[in-house]
Amino acid sequence: MSKKKQSEEELLQTLGDFTSKENWDKFFTIRGSDDSFEWYAEWPQLKDPLLSHLSSTAPPSDPASEPPQPPPPPLQILVPGCGNSRLSEHLYDAGFHGITNVDFSKVVISDMLRRNVRSRPDMRWRVMDITSMQFPDGSFDAILDKGGLDALMEPELGPKLGKMYLTEVKRVLKSGGKFIGLTLAESHVLGLLFSKFRFGWKMSIHVVSQKPSNKPSLLTFMVVAEKESSTVLHQITTSFARSSLDLNGNQARGLYEAIENENRIRREYSNGSDLIYSLEDLQLGAKGDLLELSQGRRFQLTLGEYEGSRFSYRAVVLDARQMTEPFLYHCGVFLVPKTRAHEWLFSSEEGQWMVVESSKAARLIMVLLDTSHTNASMDDIQKDLSPLVKRLAPANNNTGAQIPFMIAGDGIKQRKIVHQVTSTLTGLITVEDVVYENVDGKVSHLVPSKALLFRRLTFQRAEGLVQSEALLTREGGTQKIVSETERKKSISSSKSRKKGNQKKIDSLAIHGSSNNLKVYHNYLASSYHMGIISGFMLISSYLESVASTGRTVKAVVIGLGAGLLPMFLHGCMPFLDIEVVELDPVILNLARNYFGFCEDKHLKVHIADGIQFVRGVAADGVSGKHVNNDAQCDAECPSSNGSCTASHAERKVISKFDILIIDVDSSDSSSGMTCPAADFVDESFLLTVKDSLSDQGLFVVNLVSRSRAIKNMVVSRMKAVFSHLFCLQLEEDVNEVLFALRTEDCIKEEQFGEAAVELEKLLSWDRNDLPGKSKPPEMSQIIGDSTEKIKCLK
C-alpha cells in the first residue's frame, strides 16, 4: 500500500462519526486545501456518465427559431456535502457554471472558496447543514451526491438524518430535475432511497467503472432519480447485466434482491394491493387529492415515522361509502387500543367500514395502537397525533373546527380484578367486578341502589369479548333486576350490547370486601342467553308433553363459561337433565369458586372436547370423562374437588340429545367469527349433530360475527343439513342465535305467540336448592319480545 493511501485511511479513522461537524473540521484542517479527497470514484471514471445525465437534464434550445431565442439559463447544480473533492471543479471546466457547493464544515468551505475564487468566479460555496437547507423550493435542476447519503446512513446512527436529507433533496429539486447519487448500495441505504423516490420519480441504476487494480474492491453505483409531475409508479431499471456483477458476491446479490423486492412492491401498488403508504407518498398524490373526500376511498399509512413526532403509528384512512348521509363530523380520529387491534372489527376491511358508519364521520382516521404506546397516556397520544392528522383532514369551510378523537372502549366506570389465572389451554383468564358508566334512565326506579354490580369472565386472547356476565347481589339484601336491554355499553365487542336513553349512574363502592356478594342465578345478564331460551318455544309442545309425564329432557351445553346458562336452566326447568361439556378444567374451577356454579344429579359437567363428545354420542360411543359430586366419587377421589380424573372414573353412554347448545368462543379473534370456533359449523360436524339429536331435537348455535359474509356462510351450511332453520337477530348486537330442527314437522310462525305462552308456563323458580324462589320481573315480557323476533330461514 502506498504511503499516501495509508495516510488517507489513517486520517479517515480519526473521524469516527461521519456526521460530526467537529470531526470533519479537524479532518480538513489536517489534510489541507490542496490535497483533495475523493469518495468512491475519480473524474476519469465519472466523466462520461455524469456529463451524459447532466446534458439530458438541460432544456433544449432551438437555433432555427425566429427571432433567435436567448440561450437557456445555465443548469443549476447542487453538490451537497462537497468536501474538498475536485468534482465540482471538473464539472465547471466542462461548461457547467451554475454550481452551488454546500458543506457544514467552515474549514473546507473557506479552503475551497480560496482555491477557486479567481479561476472559477461563478462557483458558489455555502456553509450549510444538508439536512436543513436554506434554499427555496425547486431551486436546482440537478443534485449531485458523492457518498453524502452513505455517510449519513451509518447503521448505528439509524435512518433519521438520511430521511431528513432526502426530504430536503426532494424539496429543492425542480420538476424534471435529477438526483444523481454515488453509493455503495448497501441494503439500508437502498431501502430508504427506494421508498423516498417511489411516487413521482423515475429511477435507474448504473455501475461506475473501476480503475484497473489487481485487488478486488467494492463497486460504486450511480443512482439517477428523475422528478416527474405525475405520481405514476415506474419500475426501477438498470444499465448492466446481472452476470457482469457476479464476481462481486454479496454486494451484487444484495443489490439485485433489493431491486427485485422494490419492483414487486411497485407492481402491487399499481395493482391496487392494500399496502402501507407514508404520509409523504400520499401528499404526492399516491391516493389522489387528500383535500377532497373520495367516496369509498380507503388506504393504510404510517404516521410520525418521518415527521419527528414522539411515536409512530399505523393508521387506516376511510372516506365514507355513502356521502349523502348527514355527518356529525367532517373528519374524526378513532383510536384502537393494542388489546383490541387484532379484533376482526378493527383489523378487517369489512369491520372498519362498520366503524365508519357508526362514527358518523365523512372521513375517519383509524389509528391502531401497539406495544410501543403501552406507557403513554391517551392525552399524550392525542397531543402527538393532533398535528399529524390535521395533514390528513379534507378541506372544510369551517377551518377552525377541531378534529374529534374517539376511542374503542368498554364503557366501564369502575373495575376490580377479583382473580386471574393462566390456563395452558385458554391463556390468561380474568374474573372482575364492574360498574358500567351509563345505564338506562328506567333503572332509577327498578333498582334501589345507585348502581348495578356485575361479575365478568374474560379471556386475554379475546379481550373485547365478555365470555360470561352475572348480576351480583348482597347477601341477605333484596334487589330488583334490570334487563340488559336497559344497559348501554360502548362499542366494545361483548356478547350483548343494546341501545337506550343513557343516564349517568353514581359511583358504587366496588373496592371493599366481596365476601357478602353472590351471583343471582335467577337472572341472565346476557340478552343472548334469554334469546337461546326463547327459542325453546320451537319445541314447547314436546317439552310440555315430556314434563307432564314426569320424564326428563336431555339437554347438552357445549361450553361452560361461568356456568350461568346451565344454572338458570337448572333452576327454571326442573325437567331438564343437563350435561355440560367443557374442555378446560380451569374454567370449571372458576365457575365453582367465583360464580356459584354447582352440580348435582340433574346437572353434570364433562371435561372433554365438545366435538368428540357429540361424535361419540352420534356413534353410540363413550361420551367422555364424567364429573359429578357423588359421595362414592368424593370418597375415592378426595382431592378431586368433584372431578373424577382417576382411572376408575365413571364413564357413561348418553342417549341422543333433545337440546344441544353450542356456546363456545374461537381462539382466533381475527378470523371474523368470534363464536363459535370454525370447527363447530363445519359441514361434517353439522351432520354429526343431526345424527346425535332425537327426532324432536333442537340445535342452537350462538353465532357472533360482524361479517355478513361469514353469517351467510354459516346459515347456508346449516340449511343444507337441517330440515328447518330459524334465527334470532338481537337488536344492535353482533350475536345471531340460530335454531335448527331435525323433524320434518315444524311449528308455523303464526303459532309462535301460543308457543311462547306455553314455554313461559313451563318455566318455574320453585326449587329449594337454589337462591331466590320468586320469578324474576319482566321475564314474560323478555321471552315474549324475543320470540317475536325469531324468523324462519328454511
**What tens digit of pLDDT does each residue of 124-145 get?**
999 999 999 999 999 999 999 9
Q: Is it the case that residue 659 has pLDDT exceeding 90? A: yes
pLDDT in tens, 274-320: 677 777 778 767 788 888 899 999 998 888 865 667 888 989 999 99
What local confidence, expressed as pLDDT, does residue 28 receive? 58
Phi, psi at 519, each rounded to 5°: -75, 135
Cβ neighbours for 563, distance < 8 A, ≥ 6 positions apart: 468, 580, 591, 592, 595, 597
> Among all chains, which residue has been given the C-alpha cell 485487488?
215
How distant, in Å, are the alpha carbons of 2, 181, 259, 330, 563 from that of 148? 26, 8, 21, 44, 68
pLDDT in tens, 472-531: 887 654 444 444 434 333 334 344 433 333 333 333 445 455 567 888 888 788 888 888
Helical (H) or strand (E) element with 472: strand 466-474
Model confidence at 602, pLDDT cuts 50, 70, 90, reads very high
Helix (H, G, I), strand (E, B) or coil at 103: strand
**Residue 778 backbone zone (phi > 0: left; psi -120 to 50: alpha; other: beta):** left
Helix (H, G, I), strand (E, B) or coil at 138: coil
Nearest Cα neighbor of 83 from 99, 106, 117 is 106
C-beta separation of 313 from 303 below 8 A: yes
Inter-residue long-range contacts of 477-480, CB under 8 Å, 24+ positions, other chains counted: 478/448, 479/447, 479/448, 479/449, 479/520, 480/446, 480/447, 480/448, 480/777
Q: Is it the case that residue 261 has pLDDT exceeding 80? A: yes
Among 161-175, 369-383, 621-635, the minimum mean pLDDT is found in: 621-635
C-beta separation of 370 from 336 below 8 A: no
Q: Enter the pTM of the model.
A: 0.55
pLDDT in tens, 732-780: 556 889 999 988 888 888 888 888 888 888 887 554 444 444 455 556 6
E strands, 234-340, are 237-238, 276-278, 298-303, 313-319, 329-336
What local confidence, expressed as pLDDT, does residue 482 receive? 41
337 vs 620, higher pLDDT? 337
C-alpha grid cell, residue 409: 372502549
